[in-house]
Chain A
Amino acid sequence: MRKILQPILAVALGLVLGLAATWLAGENPWHVLVILVRGAFGSREALGMTLFYSTPLIFTGLSVAVAFHAGLFNIGAEGQLTLGALAAAAVGAVWSGLPWPVAPALAGAAAVLAGTIWGVIPGWLRARRGSHEVINTIMLNLIASGLAGYVTLYLLKNPDSQNPETRPIGAGYAIHQFRTFGEAHVSTALPLALFVSALVWVLLWRTALGFEIRAVGQSESAARAAGIDVGKIRIIALATAGGLAGLVGVGEVLGNAGKFVMEFSPGYGFLGIAVALLGRNQPVGIVAAALLFGALHKGTRDLDLETEHITNELSLVLQALIILSVSAEGLWSWMKRRSPT
């Protein structure tokens, strides 16, 4: 019971503080809350947009969680998803004639592969060279954004657009859109995210590899004593984390934009940390937390239009406050893991 109650309390605290800020800005907090809820769930379209923003957050939340179970911090989901989306768009632009279903499968595989590579690098560096994954993943985020800029502006530039984006992908690459949600681009990426969440659960709690991952996260020395190759598990965990983040590219490129658009992500990778933390690193919790953050993102966009003083940056403030409220608790599980034996 306490496990469910604490994240809910943290969310409530974050919301109260955030709404207090809107009051200081001269708005009626109740009015703000009504717009927020209506904006996120008020119509089929609104709900669709909420689901659209939640989908990438499920992938990045899972990504952070898998690494976390191995005792690693993946701050690199942002870079991994950038390269995943770029790879999907590159495949779609270069082999534009491929037919469905080969085309989306190939692009999806490219997205996973690109993310995986961006996860293997910090994994290998941690396991074999001992350099900390936090710094390396931060550096790799910045490197990914530079590489994406180069590919987008020099190699695959869209000649018909002034925006920094790649040439459009072929028609065979488009994945199914659920028409129920009107203009909102809810695609196969959403059921894919739910399916992958189930897979992650099976991986972590029903396979030998998952057991080893969690063993390494709980106690490195005990895992080593039990004969587990700690370095190898760390590489696998970060590789998996990278691949999961790379899957963001499927929804964004094949299910939405039809190309890679520079800086399309409003920080999905960093929000993944919040999603994993709030969801207690459990797939079910992650899906719920992703839904909440997706709703906040959509709701605050409406606030930008409908209120005088509030901009959509409020969502960042609300999310930051929620993370802070939950982190003082998130610490406990981390401490338990790290406590000297």
Chain B
Amino acid sequence: MELDETTLSHMIAQLLASTLRVSTPLIFAALGGMFSERSGVINIALEGMMLVGAWGAAVGTLAAHSPWLGSACGIGAGMLLAVLYGLFVIRLRANQIVAGTAINMLALGLTPFLCKIFYDVTGSTPAIPIGERFQSAPLWLSWLLVAGCWLWLNHTPAGLRLNFAGEHPEALDAAGIRVNRVRWMAVLASGALAGMGGASLSVFLSSSFARNMTAGRGFMALAALIFGKWKPIPTALACLLFGFTEAVQIRLQGKGSIPVQFIQILPYVVTMLVLAGFVGRSRAPKALGTPFQRE
């Protein structure tokens, strides 16, 4: 293939556009993870919440013929799973890792099961017509949300409370604010955003729901959150970086000569290095993973 300047700049433009698109679900889910984790609740259930979000959005869009109403269903589905997760980890003080793993399994098993019941097709929904899918709205919305989250976290009393729930829950409690109420709100927000992340997967990036269509993107969002030190803007940039590796993979796929696997594992290796303090330092909220109980 001959590479002149126009094809090269065309290729780069395509790659960047693709990066922005594939980062969108990651940004939503990572922001969701940020709410939950900064309030002190580990959220490895992001993967499952995204998956039911993708399913709910596809089903909703097929029924209502509008991606907006469909996304609302996806957000609802994500929140429903978040309620279940919150019930176990906040109310019953179940271990967050165990319950999170169970929630992911539940989502992985339930979504194809429900597809079979709804459409009599195992594992996927029928295709959504192109006119009923998003063209670019989730992309803009995700970046608006990044800005909104930054403002909210750093410049509102509610944002401050969220931080205290994750860093010094006892202090928050002493100030007369219920820690577990803050954590409930955060987990619900987390479910809503992860649900929207899933929705942008099924009604924006692709044209239907498919079995396990998140394929680890929830975990990738979690990695981006750690890479971004639990802060909205760095996290969104980490999502872009991870989205870029995905975009490169998509371009290289089928070319055969270059093993895409090494690009695929790059975000995870980098996240481990960052977490270990080899490249910068990333510190988790102090009370992350510790259930709160009043004395």
Contacts and interface: CB of A to CB of B under 8 A. Distances in A.
A114 B100 CA distance: 27
B275 A132 contact: yes
B265 to A, nearest CB: 4
B147 interface: no
Interface string A260-287: 0000000100100110010000000000
A153 B256 CA distance: 10
Contacts of B101: 75, 270, 273-274, 323
Interface stretch (A83-91, A176-184, A244-252, A330-338): A330-338
B112 interface: yes
Nearest to A317: B109
Interface string A302-338: 0000000111011111111101100110110011000
Contacts of B130: none
Nearest to A146: B265
Interface string A5-22: 000000000000000010
Chain B, interface size: which category?
A: 35 or more
B105 A327 contact: no
A317 B272 contact: no
A135 B222 contact: yes
B143 interface: no
B216 A328 contact: no
A301 B233 CA distance: 46
A29 interface: no
A263 B33 CA distance: 27
A324 B278 CA distance: 37
Interface string A60-79: 00000000000001010000
Contact of A327 (B94, B109, B276): B94
User: Considering residues B42, B275, B277, which has the most beta carbons from chain A within 10 angstroms of its beta carbon?
Assistant: B275
A335 B222 contact: no
Contacts of B102: 274, 320-321, 323-324, 327
Contacts of B99: 323-324, 327
Interface in A146-170: 146-147, 149-150, 153-154
Given A154-B259, A324-B102, A327-B102, A310 B92 contact: no
Given A311-B112, A327-B102, 12 more contacts: A26-B117, A75-B101, A134-B97, A135-B226, A139-B223, A142-B216, A146-B265, A313-B108, A313-B112, A327-B88, A327-B94, A331-B92
14 contacts: A75-B101, A134-B42, A135-B226, A136-B275, A139-B272, A146-B262, A149-B264, A153-B261, A270-B105, A310-B116, A316-B110, A319-B109, A324-B88, A327-B92
